[in-house]
Each structure stands twice: as structure tokens, then as C-alpha cells.
Amino acid sequence: MIAKFLQFVVGVFVWFGVMPPHTIVDYEEQRPPNPELARGILKCDMSDLSLICCLSYSIVLMVTCTVYAVKSRGVPETFNEAKPIGFTMYTTCIVWLAFVPIFFGTAQSTEKMFIQTTTLTVSMSLSASVSLGMLYIPKVYVIIFHPEQNVQKRKRSFKAVVQAATMSSRLSQKSINDKQNGETKIEPDRTQ
């Protein structure tokens, strides 16, 4: 885990070494007829490829979480946690799937900077709000309004589950053997 983090940090520093960040003053957006009244906009000089590289790590994490949320839906022990995580990841994927065509589709627009900046900030804010809302609001609701449900459930270890399954199979095997030996017990009829 630490090695992967260090690889990521080294990759970021190499990227900064190859393409250091800098800004430009863009006069194209608001060019008046009189050049003395021109107003420039300070912009980050960042290509679309650089933006994709920045967001690719988050996209990989999002896709991985979504895949595992789908896989863990059928596991009964994790159902309480898998459902909100799944809903969160599905919603986040929809938000970012809407972001990509809007962001890159407006590359030739005259209002490119405003649309792209707004789209990026709204997508990030919406993604964070969805995550907070769908993951933590149910927990806060239980803590505030239903504190009686906020108790730790008894957890069974894997060893205890295996022992219970082994004992269950031994008892069922013993009852089958008893019935084969003719030692069956006649139960009284209680339907009356």
C-alpha cells in the first residue's frame, strides 16, 4: 500500500518536472475595440490531456468501487453497507458520464472557459454531495432518531461459522443413521 502511494507521489513529481504548471493571461475572451480597455483572464495553462491525466486516477477508483459494489450486492453479511455504496457509485458514475461529453463537447464554443469551468465545479460538488448524502446521512439518521438501532451486532468469526456448519452436518448425519437403524421416534399427532 505504501509502495503504491510512493509510486503515485513520484509519478506526480516527475509530471511536474516534465510539464511544470504555469498560467497565461487570455485576452481573446473579452477583446474590446480599444486595446487599452482590454481585460485579460488569468487561466491555468492546462491541456485537455493533462486534465484527463489528473482525473484518470479518480475515474479508476470510481470504476473499481462501482464494480465491487455490484459484486457485493448478493453477499448477505454486507448488505447494509453495500446498498448505500452501490447507490453512491451509480450516481457518481452518472454525474461523471454527463460531465465528459459536456466538457469536451464545448471545446469549440466561444464560451468555452465559462462552460467548462462551471461543468467541472458542478460535477465535483455534486459528486461530493452525493457521496456525503448517500453514505453518511443514513448513519446520522440512525444515530440521531433511532439510537436503539445503533448497537454493535454480534459478529461470528469464520472459525465459529465452520464449527457450526460441521456440527450441523454431524447432527443431520447422526439422525439419518438413527433412522436407518430403526430407532425412529414416533411423534404424537398434535393437529387436533
Cα dist from 108 to 18, 104, 175, whole Å: 28, 9, 78
Cα dist from 178 to 52, 97, 174, 183, 192, whole Å: 69, 63, 6, 6, 28
Calpha distance 40→107 (Å, rounded): 19
Cα dist from 52 to 67, 92, 103, 109, whole Å: 21, 17, 11, 19
- Give the ranges where 2-41 is alpha helix by DSSP (H): 2-18
**pTM across the whole model:** 0.57
Calpha distance 71→2 (Å, rounded): 26
Contact in structure between 131 and 88 (CB atoms under 8 Å): yes
**Helix (H, G, I), strand (E, B), or coil: what is residue 43?**
strand
Please report, in tens digits, the pLDDT of each residue of the chain (192 residues total).
788 888 888 988 898 888 887 888 777 656 667 777 777 777 777 777 777 777 888 888 888 888 888 887 777 665 567 778 888 888 988 988 888 888 888 877 767 777 888 888 898 899 889 888 888 888 888 889 988 877 766 555 566 666 766 776 666 665 555 555 555 555 555 665
The DSSP element (H or E) to which 123 belongs, if any, is: helix 112-145
| Half-sphere exposure (Cβ direction) of 33: Cα atoms closer than 13 Å | 0
